[in-house]
Structure 1
Amino acid sequence: MPSPTLDPSSHEAALNRARSKAYWRLLPLLFVSYMIAYVDRQNVAVAKLTMTRDLPGFDNAVIGFGAGIFFLGYFLLEIPGTLMVERWSARKWICRIMITWGIMAGLTAAVTTPMQFYIVRFLLGLAEAGFFPGVVVYLTHWFPSRDRARALATFMVATPFAQIISPKISNWLLEIGHGDQPPVLGMVGWQWVYVFWAVPAVVLGFFVYFWLVDRPKQAKWLTAEEGEALESELERERAETRKGKRMTVIQALRHPKVLLLALVYFCTVTGSYGIEFFMPSILKSWYAMDMNQLTWLIMLPPAVAMVGQLFMGWSSDRFKERRWHAVLPIVMGSAALGFMPMTQGNLVLTMVCLMLAFAGFKSYMPAFWALPSLFLTESAAAGSIGLINSIGNLGGFLGPYVLGTVEKVTGSFVGGLYYLCCSMLVAAGIIFSFGLGKKEPAATQDNRP
């Protein structure tokens, strides 16, 4: 309801100013932070191209298992970390996460054995746990439902953006210590990949502490009227969602829709992380290209995904619809993976499949992550988002492990690609079947600007 100290027109004007200020104040820093986090998580996909040559005992199965074990550590602290954002302080918790994950990411440069690699990746998962779902929860403290999918899309588009800008930089770093390039400070290229991307995480962690604000009422860059208008709008929506019944965290974690959403995310993450970790290896195996060509090509799929993710976030908010905006991209990604083995030998068709697959992996996410807040609020929502993300990201262990193991056993990635395709189809079927996120009736839609 409008603030009692403002007339309706003044309330709406103050609210719109607050919405705009929050978007431009908070999203750029969260975007950059997630971009660095994603590079630190994913740079093993490029570093492995020389790690497997320089380190005895490192093959695709070892890399796949190590890439995936990150998510086991991630799983353990995900729910507690998300609740810390809701009940304590987002800026303090995100600051802690970024500093510790930067340290762990940098330590990957020191590994010499598969076991050391597994341990550091596990600790990196522990360090990063709570960042992504914590930000999802944090955005519910600032953005009304009409803005939420767009805000989520702006934040999450950092992942394809990271995949666009990092390959060329990482490829340049890989040259250190190989060919005519001498080692630098005693380290070779793959080690510098980890160190180079770790430093910004630590620096940004301190910046987050001083830049972010936990709640609108604490923001000195909002006027009193703007902060009051935004807080009252968010409280109005929370009251509408509760409808007189407050759900506990334990009740939320057992809620059938929460468990189904966790299964959906598990299946989609299995597909997305499997192909993301092994895309460079698949292209190198199928087409025997050099590193320069390879790093140019692997920038194309995330570029398409970035556009698709922004569009679907805008469209989902515009039409007040979540279900089809989640289902259709997942189906498209699944179909692209299923068709991809048949394109081997035709680089253009292979790249088209990869671009469509990446667009599907990324574009469903803004609508998907808007679903929990449709039936949960506050700590119940925070706990459920943490559960969905923690269980779902176990697919980040399964996908790379399956693809790496299948390639080691059969000498081909084809069987693994079909498995990822089927996993995505299961996810789309679940979202469609339980119907959460259907288009709101016209009478209940918020038609305010």
Structure 2
Amino acid sequence: MMNQNSLQYAATPQSPASQPLDATYRKIAYRLLPILFLSYVVSYLDRQNIGFAKLQMQQELNFSDSVFGLGASIFFLGYILFEVPSNILLHKLGARRWIARIMISWGLISALMFVTRGPVSFYVLRLLLGVAEAGLVPGAILYLSQWFPASRRARVVAVFYSAVAVSGIVGGPVSGWLMQTFNGAYGLSGWQWLFISEGLPSVLMGLIVWRFMVDSPDHAGWLSPEERMAVKAELAVVAHASGSEMRALADPQLWLLIVVFFMLCAGITGVGLWMPTLVQATGVRSLTQIGLLTAVPYLVAIVAMFFNCRHSDRTGERRWHVALPMLIAAMGLALAVRFEHDTVISLVGLTLCASGILCSTPPFWSLPVARLSGRAAAVGVAMVTAMGNLGSFASPYFIGLTRDLTHSTAIGIYSIAAGLFFGGLLILAYHRHDAVHVFRDVVA
């Protein structure tokens, strides 16, 4: 997916005045985006493989849905607690050094998930995994904002976030195949081979980050002095926000973004972790077939995401490019639950949901990084990610708990759909004085 067209697309000119810098931004994209893209692919493989592992490990280890849901969720507790400190350290120590540390440590812990023997070891390893991975996404978003101006940023972030879709496209079939093919090999279950096989690539990517990443345009020896000065000058022109950390924490608009991101995280994590179970519930039994079917929503999502982000950058509009996909995601998720025993209709609903959530995320990230700069950006972006990921913590456990109580995922999934719908309306209030404008815009 990370081909020449994708990188060319990330550096598309926004106006005639920007054309002299197109070649420079294209060079930057070719150098940086493949590394960040592959890093996030293996990150999401590690994050989502627990949903496939559940299909075997839950029965083998005698986990209830609540135990599995809590274990899946507790990852985000460690992630949330260490998100802000991690981003501050990244700002202080540099992206290359800190992102490499993140990837190597989480890859080793992810591989160690194969030693899980009961709920306690499951919870401890998932918590440590979240602590290790904290800071990757906000760090990457902050890092990209130090290279690309706002007018180019949504599509650049879209290239980065397309890794979520690619990990779903690749991870589903590979996870299903690994679990089915290697189950019992050398005395290990399929789910144990899954964790080992998908954890070690993160360590390799950490070494690649250490070797090839650079912290800022000032350290980019592959840019000429003139190119470095031109990029820094353009970034300085658009950087107008305050660098105060307290300004970031006291900004009510930032807290609005946190609530919206909470809904997005609840959606993508809840649906992503439970998607294999939802597909299995429609009557599909083969692990390989489940893996192939879960790839379909992400195939469609990656195409829809680039079109949405391209239009967002061309028009400079962000709120509606976040809101409409979130509303579509909510309706798709409700459709998937309403027809939960029909494989085709349920898959259509899951496709609309995945496409909507992934379409809305890159334009969303253009909002906080355009509002803040310096250490305030490091703190603000980390705050949005950390507090928003409370949704990632809550949704898997809530779905598992309600499934244990009702023997159905309906209540949990409908709740996530309602949250996505509310978040889609709420983002329309960004930079508005009151919520009345939201409904005025919707009616108009």
TM-score normalised by the chain length of structure 2: 0.91
User: Amino acid of the residue matched to residue 69 of structure 1?
Assistant: I
Instruction: Describe the superposition over 1:296-349 as per-residue Cα deviations: whole angstroms up to 9, x where unpaired.
Output: 111101111111222222111111110000000000001112232222332221
User: Amino acid of the residue matched to residue 229 of structure 1?
Assistant: A
Which of 18, 23, 34 is the equivalent residue of 1:28?
A: 34
Distance 1:157 1:90 in 2: 21
In the alignment, which residue of structure 1 is the partner of 2:230? 229
Alpha carbons 2:340, 2:346 under 8 Å: kept: yes
User: Amino acid of the residue matched to residue 142 of structure 1?
Assistant: W
Aligned pairs for 1:358-373 (under 5 A) are: 358-373=354-369
In the alignment, which residue of structure 2 is the partner of 1:172? 177
Which of 45, 67, 70 is the equivalent residue of 1:62?
A: 67
Q: Which of these two proteins has the greater Rg computed from alpha carbons?
A: 1
Which of 124, 144, 148 is the equivalent residue of 1:143?
A: 148
Which of 80, 85, 94 is the equivalent residue of 2:90?
A: 85
In the alignment, which residue of structure 2 is the partner of 1:133? 138
Q: CA deviation at 1:234?
A: 1.0
Alpha carbons 1:34, 1:159 under 8 Å: kept: yes
Distance 2:20 2:263 in 1: 42
- Report which stretch shifted further, 164-173 or 317-326: 164-173
Instruction: Describe the superposition over 1:395-420 as per-residue Cα deviations: whole angstroms up to 9, x where unpaired.
Output: 11111111111111101111111111
Q: CA deviation at 1:175?
A: 2.4
User: Amino acid of the residue matched to residue 37 of structure 1?
Assistant: S
| 1:412 counterpart SS class | coil
Q: CA deviation at 1:60?
A: 1.9
Distance 1:286 1:206 in 2: 41
Which of 52, 69, 72 is the equivalent residue of 1:46?
A: 52
Q: Does 1:249 align with 2:245?
A: yes
RMSD of aligned C-alpha atoms?
1.5
The change in CA–CA distance for 1:12 and 1:271 in structure 2 (over 3 A counts) is closer
Q: Does 1:341 align with 2:337?
A: yes
Alpha carbons 2:179, 2:287 under 8 Å: kept: no
Contiguous gaps of at least 5 residues in structure 2: 1-16, 433-444
Structure 1 outlier segments of 4+, above 4 Å: 11-14
Aligned pairs for 1:9-408 (under 5 A) are: 15-55=21-61, 57-176=62-181, 178=183, 182-184=184-186, 186-238=187-239, 241-242=240-241, 246-408=242-404
Distance 2:85 2:320 in 1: 31
Distance 1:347 1:58 in 2: 26
User: Amino acid of the residue matched to residue 39 of structure 1?
Assistant: L
Distance 2:134 2:249 in 1: 18
Q: CA deviation at 1:373?
A: 2.3
Distance 1:257 1:127 in 2: 29
How many pairs does the alignment contain? 416
Instruction: Describe the superposition over 1:56-77 as per-residue Cα deviations: whole angstroms up to 9, x where unpaired.
Output: x313221111111100000111
The change in CA–CA distance for 1:349 and 1:82 in structure 2 (over 3 A counts) is same
Identity of aligned residues (%): 36
The change in CA–CA distance for 1:368 and 1:177 in structure 2 (over 3 A counts) is closer
Alpha carbons 2:282, 2:342 under 8 Å: kept: no
- Report which stretch shifted further, 90-99 or 305-314: 305-314
User: Amino acid of the residue matched to residue 313 of structure 1?
Assistant: C
User: Amino acid of the residue matched to residue 227 of structure 1?
Assistant: R
